[in-house]
């Protein structure tokens, strides 16, 4: 079995029984990345508890419209961060969070980053990697930008040469 | 990155298709970032490999293209290939290819969530530019058979259906 098959199998395993799926009632923090429009939205809820005078993550849950890999990584992440302090959880990269799945194919690295982003947005909302207001136009924006609304449509016949 | 996009406008499509970078606000980049910085924060992608991908972008764009003639022949032969219009509502109302579907947010959600990744579908716009971005966006989401119709509805009017009026925007 090659590594791609291996990866697919591990993702399939992970999504058969995703852990901690859905909104967490009484959550102390919520973080969202992406948007539903992009099909890449991922939201995480986190609840804390005190253990030996330390504030640690009691439970984390997630909801996503992302792909299967995002579901698999998010499910793993909610388990991995349980019992950790905010500082400890923030040291985990997308790579750490997806480690149990093995190396991610290039197209799927983004899915793990989505999970890392949602976690950061929940645990350290003031610290964001890239200022979303200062982005270069994305493919999605180009696709959704007002499509020549102000322009007038001048119909001609097919035989007529158009510029 | 701003400079890179000016020199290689297809870089955005190439980056998204191959690495899922620059598709929406969650994977976007800033014009002031360097390519190296973008690679580093995307799990340390090898910069040389990414540059090769950008340089090969034009070829990858062409692989997604399908001619109006081929689309027409395949539809005529009874193949069920969704033909999706990514122009404005006003343009759609003025003229559209019979049997095509107008692209909406709802349709996008449906494709991303429900359509099998191997399903074949074709985007078209007025001249084939916006539809190339659309096809690349879906290719970046793993849809291996997302196509763009070369020359758009304008080329369709010229080469396939002269009954369909051409138009220009002013």
| Each residue's pLDDT tens digit, A87-141 | 999 999 888 999 989 888 877 888 888 899 899 989 987 765 555 556 777 888 7
> Could you give the CA distance from residue A101 to residue A22 in angstroms, rounded to a whole number?
22
Regarding beta strands A54-64 and A42-51, do their DSSP bridges make them parallel or antiparallel, or are they unpaired? antiparallel
Of B21, B161, B168, which has the smallest distance from its Cβ to A162's Cβ? B168
Cα A6 from Cα B98, distance rounded (Å): 44
Q: Which residue has the higher pLDDT, A85 or A110?
A: A85
Task: Please give the structure tokens belonging to residue A38.
Answer: 């992009």
Residue of B23, B43, B89 with shortest CB distance to A140: B23
How far off is chain A from B121, nearest CA to CA, in Å? 17
Q: What is the pLDDT of residue A127?
A: 61
Instruction: Please tell me which residue in A57, A89, A111, A119 is annotated as part of the active site.
Output: A111
pLDDT in tens, B95-124: 999 999 999 878 888 898 889 999 999 999
Q: Is the dihedral of CA A79, A84, A86, A89 positive or negative?
A: negative
Specify the range with the lowest mean pLDDT, choosing from A6-20, A74-88, B1-15. Answer: A6-20
Q: Where is pLDDT greater, at A128 or B14? A: B14
Q: Which fold has domain B64-159?
A: Oxidized Rhodanese; domain 1 (3.40.250)
Instruction: Tell me whether residue A67 is one of the annotated catalytic residues.
Output: no
Residues sharing a CB contact under 8 Å with residue A87, sequence separation 6 or more, in sequence order: none
CB spacing of A135 vs B136 below 8 angstroms: no
CA-nearest residue of chain A to B87?
A: A147
Measure the CA–CA gap between B154 and B130, rounded to whole angstroms: 13
Of A67, A106, A131, Cβ closest to residue B18: A106
Structural domain boundaries of chain A? 3-130
The domain ranges of chain B are 2-61, 64-159
Which residues on adjacent β-strands are paired with residue B66? B149
CB contact under 8 A, B45 and A106: yes
pTM value > 0.80: no
- The listed range with the strongest mean pLDDT (A13-17, A107-111, B22-26, B43-47) is B43-47
B81 to chain A, minimum CA–CA distance in Å?
21
Exposed, middle or buried: residue A82 (CB in 10 Å: 0-12, 13-18, 19+)? middle
Evaluate if residue A85 carries a pLDDT over 80: yes
Phi, psi (5° rounding) for residue B53? -60, -40
Are B94 and A154 a contacting pair, CB within 8 Å?
A: no
pLDDT at site A163: 46
Q: Pairing state of beta strands B121-124 and A153-155?
A: unpaired
pLDDT band at B24; cut points 50, 70, 90: confident
CATH of domain A3-130: 3.90.1010.10
Q: Which of A120, A51, A130 is nearest to A89 (CA)?
A: A120
- DSSP letters for B39-53: HHTTT---HHHHHHH
């Amino acid at each position: 079995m090659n590594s791609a098959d291996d990866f697919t199998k591990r993702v399939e395993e992970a999504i058969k029984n995703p852990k901690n799926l859905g909104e967490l009632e009484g959550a102390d923090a919520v973080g969202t990345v992406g948007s539903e429009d992009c099909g890449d939205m991922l939201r995480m809820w986190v609840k804390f508890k005190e253990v030996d005078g330390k504030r640690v993550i009691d439970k984390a849950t997630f909801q996503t419209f992302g792909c299967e890999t995002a579901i698999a990584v998010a499910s793993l992440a909610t388990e991995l961060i349980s019992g950790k302090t905010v500082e400890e959880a923030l040291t985990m990269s997308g790579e750490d969070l997806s480690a149990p799945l093995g190396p991610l194919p290039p197209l799927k690295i983004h899915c793990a980053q989505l999970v890392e982003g949602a976690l950061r947005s929940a645990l350290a909302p003031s610290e964001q990697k890239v200022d979303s207001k200062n982005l270069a136009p994305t493919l999605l924006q180009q696709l959704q930008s007002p499509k020549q609304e102000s322009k007038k449509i001048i119909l001609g016949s097919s035989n007529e040469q158009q510029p | 990155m701003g400079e890179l996009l000016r020199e290689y406008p297809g870089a955005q499509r190439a980056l998204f298709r191959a690495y899922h970078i620059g598709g929406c606000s969650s994977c976007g980049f800033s014009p002031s970032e360097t390519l190296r910085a973008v690679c580093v924060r995307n799990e340390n992608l090898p910069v040389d490999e990414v540059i090769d991908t950008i340089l090969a972008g034009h070829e990858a764009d062409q692989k997604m293209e399908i001619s109006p003639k081929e689309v027409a022949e395949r539809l005529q032969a009874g193949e069920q290939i969704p033909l999706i219009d990514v122009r404005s509502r006003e343009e759609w109302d003025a003229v559209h290819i019979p049997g095509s579907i107008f692209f909406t947010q709802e349709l996008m959600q449906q494709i991303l969530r429900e359509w099998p990744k191997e399903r074949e579908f074709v985007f078209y716009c007025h001249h084939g530019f916006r539809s190339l971005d659309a096809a690349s966006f879906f290719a970046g989401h793993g849809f291996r058979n997302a196509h763009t119709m070369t020359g758009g509805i304008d080329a369709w009017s010229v080469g396939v259906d002269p009954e369909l009026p051409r138009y220009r925007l002013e």
